């Protein structure tokens, strides 16, 4: 027997309609690329998104066509989110920080028909335009006054594109499984692969972002997403905020401590979200200028592990609760958040910090488990670590155009590529990327655990651990240390410091000292580059084993 409940499709357009109807006067504030602060309301955003939708239809854009954006967080980009997906076309948010060849590859792979761009990226696109085979035109997200002279073919000024339209239209009633947006993962190996979100998965993910145990978005919030809109839909905030009528503050291009701080202060921001690197810049700026965050209530940190010291600084010095979150592009992106449980509220801060530094608990809608190499589930005891597998309402079932082939196992689980523990409280902790784990004699050694311990030594600024070939054990750990300025610790001192803190067989076979360690744009250690650098390294223990 089926229930007797209306079968209304879960559509992205309904989020903006709700905000415009019930929170029509709530503001969206943007630091514009042209310079000044721009402010308008959800009601304005809805009208202009509809104008854009009408203009796209006038250009001949059909359901399923891919429309790309190369843009920072701002109101016109927000309108693309709704105007494009609202008519059943697919919004392809391109990460402008990728290499030019990667951008060309993904725009061609996605077959983007129109490319919307901020002024910032016009020179970049001019270089690539001859290779962008499917592009019918380039829409510059600005007004006539700021239109640049450009060699781009078929250039359209955004304000002129939407101006003739009335904004009076009803969004089409699409199938809720219709594709809504497309986001490519940077892919450390092979070509980037496209994750194709749907209206249904996006709306369900938005409900989750509003849950108290997740990001807790509400109509009382003013949210500044520092996380870019080209990075997994700004972690879902561009959809979650209208679902509640939360005020939005878009930071534009400058994500330095000063710009972020000024917006937080002037707009009375209550919640923010971004990667650790961004927070490091903000914390340094505030320390230098002796500033406080009187309005901020919480901040979301994800993308890479939030260091315990950063969590403690936010919470103890600034009174800002940290929500440590983990997810990935393939997961829309939220998987876990580290909001404390009731019984943890009374724990001493040091004990809470142990849990806050983990990546958090599963969000309803996402199932987690860890398995060994043979696919057997491992215990949730906080000690065993294995491949982190996920399934759920907003997790990819495959990549765009079938790239990468079958990605789910028979149980419908997706392998995240992360290695993690799950503890009895349900908290997950990443111990490694699967490809970075050191496989010694069939057992696994966590490079992250060793790194975290090594940076505790007073002379160590940064540490990285990689597996190096070993004739007997297959791989053994090599510890690479960047000493603090003016310090020169010895190998014996470092290993002596680790002694007693780890199992004997985890002890690195050698320590090398370096001036620096390579990093990615988001501050993750580039293990691939490091492994390449040390690919011919002969461990002292390898020599003796070979003799
Ligand atoms: P990219 O490779 O472009 O950064 P994603 O944003 O999808 O792509 O990256 C997802 C990966 O980032 C996760 O699989 C995980 O390894 C890492 N990650 C995300 N959040 C955290 C976190 N809180 N702690 C540690 N690692 C994280």
| Protein residue closest via CA to atom 24 of ligand 1 | 305
Name which of 86-90, 249-253, 518-522 the model is least confident about. Answer: 518-522
- C-alpha 214 – ligand 1 centre gap (Å): 17
Average confidence score pLDDT of the chain? 95
Query: In angstroms, how far apart are the furthest CA atoms of the chain?
Result: 82
Whether the pLDDT of residue 296 is over 90: the answer is yes
At 547, the pLDDT band (50, 70, 90 cuts) reads: low
Q: Does the C-beta of 433 come closer than 6 Å to ligand 1?
A: yes
pLDDT value at residue 521: 62
Q: Which atom of ligand 1 is nearest to the CA of 95?
A: 3
Beta-carbon contacts of 401 under 8 Å, excluding residues fewer than 6 positions away, are: 109, 194
Beta-carbon contacts of 24 under 8 Å, excluding residues fewer than 6 positions away, are: 41, 42, 43
Q: Are 295 and 264 in contact (CB under 8 A)?
A: yes
Burial 229-253 (b: 16+ CB within 10 A, else e): bbbbbbbbbbbbbbbbbbbbbbbbe
- C-alpha 24 – ligand 1 centre gap (Å): 35
| Protein residue closest via CA to atom 6 of ligand 1 | 328
| Protein residue closest via CA to atom 27 of ligand 1 | 304
Q: What would the pLDDT profile of 379-437 be if each residue is shown by its tens digit?
A: 999 999 999 999 999 999 999 999 989 999 999 999 999 999 999 999 999 998 888 98
Q: What would the pLDDT profile of 25-83 be if each residue is shown by its tens digit?
A: 999 999 999 999 999 999 999 999 999 999 999 999 999 999 999 999 999 999 999 99
Q: Which atom of ligand 1 is nearest to the CA of 231?
A: 6
Using CA atoms, how far apart are residues 467 and 532, in angstroms rounded to an integer? 11
Q: What would the pLDDT profile of 94-146 be if each residue is shown by its tens digit?
A: 999 888 988 999 999 999 999 999 999 999 999 999 999 999 999 999 999 99
Whether the pLDDT of residue 523 is over 70: the answer is no
Whether the pLDDT of residue 478 is over 60: the answer is yes
461 phi/psi in degrees, rounded to 5: -90, -45
Using CA atoms, how far apart are residues 151 and 546, in angstroms rounded to an integer? 62
Q: Does the C-beta of 326 come closer than 6 Å to ligand 1?
A: yes
Residue with tokens 């109101």: 75
Q: What percent of the chain has pLDDT over 70?
A: 98
Using CA atoms, how far apart are residues 53 and 49, in angstroms rounded to an integer? 6
Q: Which atom of ligand 1 is nearest to the CA of 232?
A: 6
| Protein residue closest via CA to atom 13 of ligand 1 | 328
Q: Which residue segments constitute the domains of the chain, with CATH numbers given?
A: 10-198 (3.40.50.12780), 436-546 (3.30.300.30)
HSE of 436, CA atoms in CB hemisphere, 13 A: 25
Beta-carbon contacts of 223 under 8 Å, excluding residues fewer than 6 positions away, are: 217, 237, 241, 246, 247, 248, 249, 269, 270, 271, 272, 273
Q: Are 495 and 460 in contact (CB under 8 A)?
A: no
* Residues β-bridged to residue 500: none
pLDDT value at residue 180: 98
Q: Among all residues, which ones are annotated catalytic?
A: 185, 330, 439, 444
pLDDT value at residue 72: 98
Q: Does the C-beta of 186 come closer than 6 Å to ligand 1?
A: yes
Q: What are 180's two structure tokens? A: 């809504």
At 277, the pLDDT band (50, 70, 90 cuts) reads: confident
pLDDT value at residue 125: 98
Beta-carbon contacts of 126 under 8 Å, excluding residues fewer than 6 positions away, are: 150, 151, 152
Pocket test residue of 322, 325, 326, 437 for ligand 1, highest count of atoms within 8 A of CB: 326
Q: Is 1 helix (H, G, I), strand (E, B) or coil?
A: coil
What number is the average pLDDT over the span 349-361? 97
């Amino acid at each position: 027997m089926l229930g007797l409940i209306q079968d209304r499709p879960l559509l992205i357009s309904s989020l903006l309609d709700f905000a415009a109807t019930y929170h029509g006067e709530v503001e969206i504030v943007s630091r514009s690329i042209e310079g000044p602060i721009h402010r308008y309301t959800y009601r304005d955003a809805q009208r202009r998104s509809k104008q854009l939708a009408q203009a796209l239809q006038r250009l001949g854009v059909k359901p399923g066509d891919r429309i790309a954006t190369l843009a920072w967080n701002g109101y016109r980009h927000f309108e693309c989110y709704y105007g494009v997906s609202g008519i059943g076309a697919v919004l392809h948010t391109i990460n402008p920080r990728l290499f030019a060849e990667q951008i060309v590859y993904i725009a061609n792979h996605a077959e983007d028909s129109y490319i919307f761009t901020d002024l910032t990226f016009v020179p970049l696109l001019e270089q690539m335009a001859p290779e962008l085979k499917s592009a019918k035109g380039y829409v510059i997200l600005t007004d006539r006054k700021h239109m640049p002279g450009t060699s781009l073919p078929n250039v359209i000024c955004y304000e002129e594109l939407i101006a003739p339209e009335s904004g009076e239209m009803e969004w089409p009633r699409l199938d809720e499984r219709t594709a809504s947006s497309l986001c490519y993962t940077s892919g450390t190996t092979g070509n980037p692969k496209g994750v194709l979100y749907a209206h249904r998965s996006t709306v369900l993910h938005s409900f989750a972002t509003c849950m108290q145990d997740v990001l807790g978005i509400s109509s009382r919030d003013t949210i500044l997403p520092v996380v870019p809109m080209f990075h997994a839909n700004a972690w879902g905030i561009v959809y979650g905020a209208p679902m509640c009528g939360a005020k939005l503050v878009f930071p534009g291009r400058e994500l330095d401590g000063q710009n972020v701080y000024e917006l937080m202060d002037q707009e009375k921001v209550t919640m923010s979200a971004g990667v650790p690197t961004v927070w490091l810049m903000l914390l340094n700026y505030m320390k230098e200028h002796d500033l406080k965050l009187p309005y901020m209530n919480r901040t979301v940190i994800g993308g890479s592990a939030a260091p315990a010291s950063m969590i403690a600084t936010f919470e103890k010095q600034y009174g800002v609760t940290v929500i440590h979150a983990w997810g990935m592009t393939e997961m829309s992106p939220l998987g876990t958040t580290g909001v404390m449980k009731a019984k943890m509220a009374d724990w001493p801060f040091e004990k809470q910090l142990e849990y806050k530094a983990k990546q958090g608990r599963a969000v309803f809608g996402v199932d987690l488990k860890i398995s060994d190499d043979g696919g057997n589930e491992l215990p949730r005891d906080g000690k065993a670590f294995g491949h982190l597998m996920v399934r759920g309402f907003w997790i990819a079932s495959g990549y765009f155009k079938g790239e990468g082939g079958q990605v789910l196992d028979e149980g419908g689980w997706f392998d995240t590529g992360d290695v993690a523990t799950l503890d009895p409280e349900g908290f997950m902790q990443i111990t490694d990327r699967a490809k970075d784990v050191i496989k010694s004699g069939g057992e696994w050694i966590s490079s992250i655990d060793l790194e975290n311990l090594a940076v505790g030594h007073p002379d160590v600024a940064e540490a990285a651990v990689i597996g190096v070939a070993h004739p007997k054990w297959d791989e053994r750990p090599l510890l690479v240390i960047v000493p603090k300025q003016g310090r020169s610790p010895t190998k014996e001192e470092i290993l002596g410091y680790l002694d007693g803190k780890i199992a004997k067989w985890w002890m690195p076979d050698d320590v090398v000292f370096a001036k620096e360690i390579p990093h990615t744009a988001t501050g993750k250690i580039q293990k691939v580059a490091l492994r390449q650098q040390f690919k011919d390294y002969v461990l002292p223990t390898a020599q003796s084993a070979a003799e």
